[in-house]
Structure 1
Amino acid sequence: MPTADRYDWAFDHVPDSQLYAQATPDLMTHQFEYVAGVAAERKTKLVLQSGDWVNREYLSQEYQWVNAEPSARALEDANLPYMISWGNHDYSDARNGRVMLPKYFPMERFERSLEGSPWRFGGSDNIDNYYYTAEIDGAKLLLITVGYFSADNAADPGLAWAKGVIEAHPDHAVILANHNSVNQGVNGWSNDNVTRALIDPYPNVKLVLGGHIAGTGVASRPTAGGNRAYGVLTDYQSRVYGGQEYLKHISVDAENDLIYFNTWSPLLGKATSDGNWHHKVPRGRDPRLPRRGLGELRPGDRPRRQHEADPGRHVAHRRGRRAAAGR
């Protein structure tokens, strides 16, 4: 993991926590307390949770939302902005399936989490879609999430809303947080609605972060204007105890256009994993990891060496000048 003097700011991608909330809530609390505890040292500007915050949205299972509350409060008490990209276990279209989510996480709660930070609450659609904007180290950023059921239906108004948000911010580098978006392994994408509607048409969509599918993966795809978007899957839920507290630390070196992805388990004190969470990139299937950071990702970028699909050691390559967002 890079030392803090090697990057300018950071954010964390915490994977599906559903089984912690259901059965091992102390591990979930410990994981989020760890994230809050290292935030100052890591220069953390935001925490992104990948969705499936709980395992059941039922009224009869409200104890899971109660179990997860100390984790959210750990971030709030540390004044850490956060976003949850809602998953299929957090809500549903069945009767009473959309009660718990807005009860515990009205949009005002997310907006309050941004106070005193570089992030601004941009707006929302329904209970599951919302976005933030920020300017950090000269880069204009747009972080947007579309909930699982909005993204699962090509005709859902949430997708049209998200397209409008991206189109209204052409000078922002877009980070898209969607629960179901990136597949396990190398160069796999899991949701055609997301790729067709929210990634491919927009040259400023730079990074896609997903969960939902147990495993890890890295992917890339061409976008409009000859640019390229990159995806990372982070989901450890099917490991023992609900995930062994594994997460991804993401560190941004704006000066040199580098992004570091590092796997870490505060429970185990380990920086690597195995099984479906540790893939070699086969020859000929390299996802064309970039030499440039979030600001500029252009065609023809090729890595100087092979990387693992579990980005525990992955770092985007050095280009030697500050990112210019949206190009």
Structure 2
Amino acid sequence: MTRNNNVFSMIIIPDTQELSTYYPDRLKKMTTWIVDNAEDLNLKKILHVGDVVNNGATHEEQYLNHQDAYSLIDAANIPNLIAIGNHDYDNLLHENRDSAMFNKYCGIHKYESKDWFGDSYEHNKAENMYTKLSINGIKFLFLSLEYGTRDEVLVWADKVIEQHSDHKVIVVTHSYMYFNGERTKPGDDHNPKVYNGSRDANDGEDVWNKCLKKHKNVFAVFSGHHIPENISTRVECGENGNTVYQFFQNWQCTPNGGEGRIRILQFNVVDKKFDISVFNPQTEKFELEEGYYRSFKLSDF
């Protein structure tokens, strides 16, 4: 790859739970490829949609596998943000939202010394937080929301988004889009509301109606979680006429835990467009199945 300064990239990492459990070598190959190619990609941000691990607090070795791979990203000082997935909670939401192990390995301590760190909803907890970057003159706010976001967190998110009205907001959360191209709603498998520990949850349709559609600066939402399909896209306008790009991605049920597939989001500030594609770090090739590559014009950048 040859770097073009008019193009910058972001990477979306889907559920890595199978990788951290059974295929740590493939997980590390993924992060190694990202770091090795970060300069050519002009990589500015990495977003993880959650389910870092499979078994919460009961198998700490899975978090250690994650740390071993992700430490390469941290050492390269690439700004990143990790959403919490249902499998990342200590008891997998069977009882409550305890998240001590997630915060031990993916907590605020990873971010708070960085100049791009914003703030968090709860003190010393990373489930709901935001970071900020100015890229090629464009101000971005990256907002992570907990799995099955609670009403009180959405009130906080409203304020954060409103206070940064001059920023393009990109949201990462574990469950939001379903694999059929609709937002999650009652009746969908693995809806956040069905877990005993998250009976206070909002699903994707709730989060859209209660919060995201109201704000003119919300730009995109990325999520994972649902199975067995791998990808879906939804593009629609919010209440203020702004286009909101909504993407689901998850390969955990495919061979080798998804191979460490990532999505590469490339912005071209001259042509005013962005492309999103699927890359397999094991084969080092882009994949071209239906819907894997999309290109969008940007009218309001």
Task: Give 1:127-276 correspondences, 5 Å limit.
Answer: 127=125, 128-149=127-148, 151=149, 153=150, 155=151, 157-185=152-180, 187-190=181-184, 191-214=204-227, 215-272=230-287
Shift of 1:12: 0.4
Q: 1:230: Cα distance to partner?
A: 1.1
Identity of aligned residues (%): 24
Change (3 A) 1:318 1:205: closer
Question: SS of 1:189's equivalent?
Answer: coil
**Which aligned segments of 4 or more residues in structure 1 are displaced greater than 4 angstroms?**
none
Equivalent in the alignment of 2:121: 125
Alignment TM-score, normalising by the size of structure 2? 0.85
Encode CA deviations 1:19-48: one digit per residue, 9 max, x unaligned.
111111111111111111100111101111
Amino acid at match of 2:120: S
Return closer, same or farther for 1:96/1:205 CA change in 2, 3 Å cut-off: closer
The AA in structure 2 aligned to 1:123 is D
SS at structure 2 position matched to 1:33: helix
CA contact (8 A) 1:6 1:253 kept: no
The residue that corresponds to 1:52 in the other structure is: 51
Structure 1 residue runs of 5 or longer lacking an equivalent are: 280-308
1:7 positional shift: 4.3
- Contact 2:218-2:244 at 8 Å conserved across structures: yes
Please say if residues 82 and 106 of structure 2, whose CA atoms lie closer than 8 Å, have aligned partners that are also in contact.
no
Deviations 1:266-292 (A, max 9, x none): 11233226xxxx44xxxxxxxxxxxxx
Superposed CA offset, 1:158-201 (max 9, x none): 2211111011111111111111112224x421212221123211
Q: Considering only aligned residues, what root-mean-square deviation do their CA atoms show, in Å?
A: 2.0
For residues 110 and 182 of structure 1, what CA distance do their matches in structure 2 show? 27
Distance 1:231 1:224 in 2: 15
User: Match of 2:63, SS?
Assistant: helix
The one-letter code sitting in structure 2 at the alignment partner of 1:110 is: Y
SS across alignment from 1:203: coil
1:283-315 CA-to-partner distances (Å, cap 9, x unmatched) read xxxxxxxxxxxxxxxxxxxxxxxxxx33x2x11
- Give the number of equivalent residue pairs: 274
Distance across 2 between alignment mates of 1:13 and 1:200: 22
Q: Secondary structure at the match of 2:171?
A: strand
Task: Note the alpha carbon deviations across 1:124-164, whole angstroms, 9 max, x for none.
Answer: 01320000112211211111011104x1x4x3x22211111
User: Compared with structure 1, are the counterparts of its residues 316 and 68 closer, same or farther at alpha carbon in structure 2 (3 Å cutoff)?
Assistant: same
Q: Note if contact 1:19-1:237 (Cα within 8 Å) is conserved in structure 2.
A: yes
Match for residue 303 of structure 1? none
Task: Provide the rounded CA distance (Å) in 2 between the counterparts of 1:88 and 1:30.
Answer: 25
Give the unaligned 5+ runs of structure 2. 185-203
Using the size of structure 1 for normalisation, the TM-score is: 0.78
